[in-house]
């Protein structure tokens, strides 16, 4: 079983991100005191401040932060200290341009932004280790420090690296993986279009080609390499921090970004994972929010579910507290009154035990002048600060919930090979994204909480057995290990659902010459005989199941049962495959496997929940309107039901039993009105 975290927050608390280097020193004390008065007990600092510690190469000074830390100590403010490697100093990038990342044509990204370095430059690794060591040595035992943040948002903004150091490191990565060029040529299918390599110096990170990314197997290995490079850069820093930090202080980084095995990074480098939560961006500003079927800011719960899979009791390092945007791009409106509370409660509902807002006061200079904080440029008390105070009071009443488990009976299975393949492969991407969204929407509307469970090397049957239903929507890449693990789960009584396009690739991303779903065919008791995209010119395709008609979207896997025990539940109702099986149920040991020859729509998913007897954990307690999310957190002898109304209008809910309202301490039952964006926490 995977050990998911080495550190847990002891008490649910609030924090904020603060930049002493952005403000006149005369403001520090007043800022910190106002924070404490508002219920903010921790600040995160220093993650972009390299030049304050090393203004010139090899010249180290701590005067600036010593002065600031003395104020923190005097006033009683706890500190999470950031390592400053996301923004190298100007002297460094000028003198050692090899530390810079490059675009595909090798053109370097110059100084002036952030995250423009590469993970593999020996010089950048050396300089990063040195600055981290100096800072850790100096502040490691400081009384006010409670934790350390490595870099800032690893793999954010850019998760592709094309510098010379990356090519050199990529070759080493491949030599270690394949030993010989013959094995590499075989794994990458280089015989296709005459790509065969005869010397390691012919191998590069992806370069500009006439047809972009035309070797998908190479690209899959390249993403694995990027992930490895990022983890090794993070590990360099965490090893130093472990040597200097005080007992009990934690090491984290604020994730969660692409082309990165966040689970491995957490397991190998961190004590606890933190996340930056900006739900306003889930609205997708190019879409019309009124027609948006992805549930807008409620969809952010998908990200939080993902974070919870990395680390069940995580923290939020940056919780949105204002309108967002850079002066050049990305715009999102200010949270309406009540939305800061709603979004903080969304994080807490999903397992966060620390909420730190971004940022105390909006920066008055630079590219983030519109990435608003709690206070505005004028520094006066405002409605957002008043809302933070309310959140602090609320959090005070929820302390007992710290460390409680998020309860889910259902898990959606994922794995990094498939996640990365679905970014590269358009056939895979279409089905994966649609199904993930629709499963989420269906679960939300039916108030069925679920987890993501990543299949990894360490995953064991115990990780799976806690769930009565597993959904593996489109595991295009299948391995024997995963098939064996799932076989064990089902034989032990579990229920498993697969969707279309399962099992036709191996872990190189090459297609296998076996009837689909390949390694999973034993579980499904069925083969795929034929398959097709549902094209733009095609008529609608439907499935008949349970005397109902369901629209089939995007793709059809036309199934044939080969195991006579397997039962056909649904059949296609249109086109040349009318009458062919579309949904199969197979008994395996004590359990059941369903195989749907298509993507999951919310209607099909709802019917599958009924079929597999999955119900809301609140069904005997609460009747909720569809605008509400339900989350349940559980600790020994106690259970919290958290209800979140995402709509900008009031709604009614009904309590079927007497429950205690955490805010008022009173017992309530019957119909209750929730105001716009209001959240409630009940216990039995």
Active site residues: 153, 318
- Which of 52, 219 has the CB closer to ligand GAL? 52
- Cα separation of 334 and 317, whole Å? 19
Least distance CB 368 / ligand GAL (angstroms)? 5
Least distance CB 48 / ligand GAL (angstroms)? 7
The three-state secondary structure class of 121 is coil
The residue ranges that bind ligand GAL (CB under 6 A) are 152-153, 276, 318, 368, 371
For residue 356, what is the enclosing H or E element? Answer: strand 354-358
| Closest residue by beta carbon to ligand GAL | 371
Residue 25 neighbours by CB distance under 10 Å: 11
Return the structure tokens found at 384: 């957002």
- Which of 267, 276 has the CB closer to ligand GAL? 276
Least distance CB 252 / ligand GAL (angstroms)? 13
- Which of 152, 301 has the CB closer to ligand GAL? 152
Comparing C-alpha atoms, which of 462, 461, 468, 466 is closest to residue 482?
461
Pairing status of strand 274-277 against strand 254-255 = parallel
- Position of tokens 């079983």? 1
The three-state secondary structure class of 677 is coil
- Which of 49, 672 has the CB closer to ligand GAL? 49
Comparing C-alpha atoms, which of 141, 116, 130 is closest to residue 53?
130
Whether residue 382 is preceded by a cis peptide bond, meaning omega within 30 degrees of 0, is no
- Which of 233, 504 has the CB closer to ligand GAL? 233
Pairing status of strand 13-17 against strand 354-358 = parallel
- Which of 153, 166 has the CB closer to ligand GAL? 153
- Position of tokens 């799976």? 464
CB 115 within 8 A of CB 158: yes
Return the structure tokens found at 625: 């309107």
Return the structure tokens found at 360: 């105390």
- Cα separation of 10 and 376, whole Å? 31
CA angle (364 as vertex; 358, 367 as ends), nearest 5: 75
Distances in Å between the Cα of 158 and the Cα atoms of 63, 118, 153, 162, 325 are 33, 10, 10, 11, 18
Distances in Å between the Cα of 231 and the Cα atoms of 131, 261, 267, 311, 318 are 19, 8, 10, 16, 22
Instruction: Give the residues across from 135 on adjacent strands.
Output: none
- Cα separation of 357 and 343, whole Å? 11
Least distance CB 276 / ligand GAL (angstroms)? 5
Whether residue 256 is preceded by a cis peptide bond, meaning omega within 30 degrees of 0, is yes
Least distance CB 250 / ligand GAL (angstroms)? 18
Least distance CB 325 / ligand GAL (angstroms)? 9
- Which of 279, 517 has the CB closer to ligand GAL? 279
Pairing status of strand 567-572 against strand 541-545 = antiparallel
Count of alpha carbons within 13 angstroms of residue 68, beta-carbon side? 26
Comparing C-alpha atoms, which of 620, 615, 645 is closest to residue 630?
645
CA 537 to chain centre: 36
């Amino acid at each position: 079983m995977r050990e998911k975290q080495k550190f847990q927050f002891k008490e649910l608390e609030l924090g904020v991100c603060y930049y002493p280097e952005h403000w006149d020193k005369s403001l520090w004390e007043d800022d910190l005191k106002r924070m404490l008065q508002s219920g903010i007990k921790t600040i995160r600092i220093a993650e972009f401040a390299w030049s304050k510690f090393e203004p010139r190469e090899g010249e180290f000074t701590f005067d600036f932060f010593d002065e600031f830390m003395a104020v923190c100590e005097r006033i009683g403010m706890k500190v999470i200290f950031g390592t400053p490697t996301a923004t190298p100093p100007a002297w460094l990038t000028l003198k050692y341009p090899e530390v810079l990342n490059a675009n595909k044509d090798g053109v370097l990204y110059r100084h002036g932004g952030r995250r423009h370095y590469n993970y593999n430059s020996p010089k950048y690794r050396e300089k990063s280790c040195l600055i981290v060591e100096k800072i850790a040595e100096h502040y490691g035992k400081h009384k006010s420090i409670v934790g350390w943040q490595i870099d800032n948002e690893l793999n954010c903004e850019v998760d592709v690296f094309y510098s010379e150091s990356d090519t050199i490191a990529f070759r080493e990565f491949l030599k270690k993986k394949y030993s010989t060029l013959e094995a590499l040529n075989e794994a990458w299918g280089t015989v296709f279009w005459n790509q065969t390599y005869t010397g390691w110096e012919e191998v590069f990170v992806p370069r500009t080609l006439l047809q972009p990314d035309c070797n998908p197997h190479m690209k899959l290995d390249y993403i694995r390499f990027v992930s490895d490079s990022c983890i090794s850069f993070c590990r360099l820093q965490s090893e130093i921090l472990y040597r200097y930090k005080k007992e009990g202080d934690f090491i984290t980084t604020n994730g969660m970004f692409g082309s990165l095995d966040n689970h491995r990074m957490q397991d190998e480098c961190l004590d606890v994972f933190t996340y930056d939560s900006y739900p306003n961006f889930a609205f997708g500003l190019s879409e019309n929010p009124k027609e948006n079927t992805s549930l807008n800011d409620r969809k952010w719960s998908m990200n939080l579910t993902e974070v919870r899979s990395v680390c069940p009791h995580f923290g939020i390092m940056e919780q949105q507290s204002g309108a967002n945007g850079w002066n050049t791009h990305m715009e999102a409106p200010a949270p309406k009154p009540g939305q800061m509370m709603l979004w903080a409660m969304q994080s807490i509902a999903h397992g966060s035990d620390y909420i730190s807002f971004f940022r105390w006061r909006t920066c008055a200079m630079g590219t983030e002048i519109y990435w608003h904080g709690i206070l505005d440029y004028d520094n006066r008390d405002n409605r957002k600060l008043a809302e933070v105070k309310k959140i602090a009071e609320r959090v005070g009443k929820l302390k007992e919930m710290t460390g409680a488990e998020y309860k889910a009976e259902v898990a959606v299975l994922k794995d990094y090979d498939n996640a990365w393949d679905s970014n590269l492969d358009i056939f895979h991407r279409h089905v994966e994204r649609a199904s993930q969204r629709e499963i989420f929407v269906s679960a939300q509307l039916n108030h069925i909480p679920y987890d993501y469970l990543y299949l990894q090397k360490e995953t064991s049957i115990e990780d799976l057995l806690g769930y009565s239903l597993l959904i593996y929507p489109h595991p295009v890449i299948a391995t024997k290990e995963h098939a064996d693990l799932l076989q064990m789960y089902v034989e032990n009584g579990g229920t498993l659902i697969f969707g279309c396009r399962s099992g036709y690739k191996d872990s190189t991303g090459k297609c296998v010459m076996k009837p689909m779903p390949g390694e999973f065919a034993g579980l499904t008791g069925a083969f795929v005989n034929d398959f097709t995209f549902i094209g733009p010119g095609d008529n609608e395709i439907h499935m008949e199941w349970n005397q109902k008609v369901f629209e089939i979207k995007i793709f059809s896997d036309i199934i044939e049962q080969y195991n006579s025990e397997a039962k056909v539940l649904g059949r296609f109702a249109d086109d040349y495959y009318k009458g062919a099986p579309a949904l199969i149920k197979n008994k395996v040991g004590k359990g059941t496997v369903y195989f749907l020859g298509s993507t999951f729509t919310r209607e099909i998913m709802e019917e599958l929940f009924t079929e597999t007897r999955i119900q809301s954990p609140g069904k005997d307690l609460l009747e909720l309107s569809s605008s509400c999310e339900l989350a349940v957190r559980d600790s020994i002898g106690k259970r919290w039901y958290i209800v979140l109304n995402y709509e900008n209008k009031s709604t009614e809910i009904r309590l079927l039993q007497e429950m205690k309202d955490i805010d008022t301490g009173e017992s309530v039952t019957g119909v209750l009105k929730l105001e716009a964006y209001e959240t409630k926490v009940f216990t039995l």
